[in-house]
Amino acid sequence: MPAFPPSAPTAEDGLAVFTGAGDLTARLRQDVQSELTRFLARQRAVLAEVSPETGPMLDAVESLLSGGKRLRPAFCFWGFLGAGGLPGPEITTAAAALELFQAAALLHDDVMDDSDTRRGLPAAHRRFAALHAELRWSGSAERFGLAGAILAGDLCLSWSDEMFVASGFDEPALARGRAVFSTMRTQLMGGQYLDMLEQASSALRGREGAVERARRVVRFKSAKYSVEHPLLLGAALAGAPAALQETYTRFGLALGEAFQLRDDVLGVFGDPGQTGKPAGDDLREGKRTVLVALALAAADPAQVELVESRLGDPQLDAEGVVALQTVLTDTGAVAGVERLIDDLVEEACTALEKSSLDETARTALNTLVVAATARLS
């Protein structure tokens, strides 16, 4: 048991608060899973009317929705509680709808990136392709896989909205929430397009301003929709005052960016057992992350040549991965990103400290900061 200085809360007090928030977050994870399971069972019935052969689509969605850290629902939930809302089935269902939205984004993202795996398992389009091959169907298995995953993603996108609306909130609350929900959807898709465009045009645009451009992509493709918008959705549902919404935005954008930067570092240096994808996958995909932009900004000509010739090479072998990792470390880019993460986490925590949030919500959000940015995830 650690000793606390006399001015700090007593061990009992501190633990009690922490346990209260932690308990609620853990409970939310379970409740989100139950709500999703129930919702998908209803949809299975709607699809069975078309044909029982639609089963594999439901299976793909169900498998993608089981597990995960449920960070987005947690931010939505605590955004709501922090604004005076009370736990209950309404906020659980609205928060769970974010998981369906996230599933849609992942399904389509994996098709667009042609990824092999997701969370350590074959990506959905690969699973549909395998089904096609296994049953010796005619035509292209790859094309069948692509179509199956696009349709499964379309279902999740439609369902996220259906589940949100059926959450049980009254119409004024839903109307406030819907404004956030709509902005989130449009801006995520805009952010994803911007991301692709940056990957494709980065060589032409050169290194000038590349770090700022990469950070802009992070903001719209990840920070807003992973943290800020879920918090604001909870806030809107609870009818939070403008000052609290501003706190959430400051906290959410800073933490959301840190979360993505941590993901970028793990994508290059992370343990495949932890990240669920093969080592170096992000390097083979040629992602133009802030990490890469920082490296290029500080690289000597030989290092630039190495990055430009190997990054995005689908055949990149273990040796190539190590060579790129070495450039990212030697240029100081890794240390730079770690500093940026630290600064952003501090910015997020300061926003919380300055706010009038009650202690349970603040504790819960501080715990989520750790969960979202820990070096091993």
Q: Are 377 and 262 in contact (CB under 8 A)?
A: yes
When asked if residue 208 is in the footprint of its own copies (CB under 8 A), the reply is no
Q: Is 57 in the site for its own copies (CB under 8 A)?
A: yes
| Residue 271, phi-psi category: left (phi > 0), alpha (psi -120 to 50), beta (remainder) | beta
Amino acid occupying residue 346: E
DSSP state of 228: I
**CB under 8 A: which stretch of 2-10, 140-148, 251-259, 333-341 binds its own copies?**
140-148
Q: Is 19 or 140 the residue whose CB approaches its own copies more closely?
A: 140
Task: Return the number of the residue (14 or 56) whose C-beta is nearest its own copies.
Answer: 56
143 binds its own copies (CB under 8 A): yes
54 makes contact with its own copies (CB under 8 A) = yes
Determine the 3-state secondary structure of 295 from DSSP: helix
Among 86, 204, 242, 370, binds its own copies (CB under 8 A): 204
As a residue count, the chain comes to 377
**Calpha distance 270→71 (Å, rounded):** 19
Nearer residue to its own copies within complex by CB, 26 or 196: 196
Task: Note whether 180 binds its own copies by CB under 8 A.
Answer: no
Q: Is 137 an interacting residue with respect to its own copies (CB under 8 A)?
A: yes
323 binds its own copies (CB under 8 A): no
Nearer to its own copies among residue 225 and residue 259 (C-beta): 225
**HEC letters along 81-122:** HHCCCCCCHHHHHHHHHHHHHHHHHHHHHHHHHCCCEECCEE
State the nearest-atom distance from the C-beta of 81 to its own copies, in Å: 26
Q: Of 19, 182, 274, 309, which one interacts with its own copies (CB under 8 A)? A: 182
Is the distance from CB of 355 to CB of 247 less than 8 angstroms?
yes
Kindly tell me which residue out of 146, 306, 349, 371 binds its own copies, with binding defined by CB under 8 A.
146
Nearer to its own copies, 157 or 227 (CB): 157
* Choice from 25, 167, 202, 373 touching its own copies (CB under 8 A): 202
* C-alpha distance from residue 322 to each of 161, 201, 268, 283, 316 (Å): 43, 25, 10, 10, 10
Asked whether position 304 contacts its own copies by CB under 8 A, the answer is: no
Indicate the DSSP class of residue 67: S
CB of 102 to its own copies, least distance (A): 13
Nearest Cα to Cα of residue 181 among 156, 164, 163: 164
Shortest Å, Cβ 170 to its own copies: 9
| 82 lies in the site for its own copies, by CB under 8 A | no
Distances (CA, A) of 361 to 22, 140, 351: 10, 51, 13
Smallest separation, CB 138 to its own copies (Å): 5
Give the C-alpha separation, 252 to 258, whole Å: 10
What residues contact residue 71 under an 8 Å CB cut-off, 6+ apart?
226, 227, 259, 368, 371, 372
In the complex, minimum distance from the CB of residue 287 to its own copies, in angstroms, rounded to a whole number: 11
| Positions that interact with its own copies (CB under 8 A) | 43, 46-47, 49-51, 53-54, 57, 104, 108, 111-112, 114, 132, 135-139, 143-144, 146-148, 150-151, 153-155, 157-159, 161-162, 165, 171, 178, 182-183, 185-187, 189-194, 196-197, 199-204, 216, 220, 286, 312
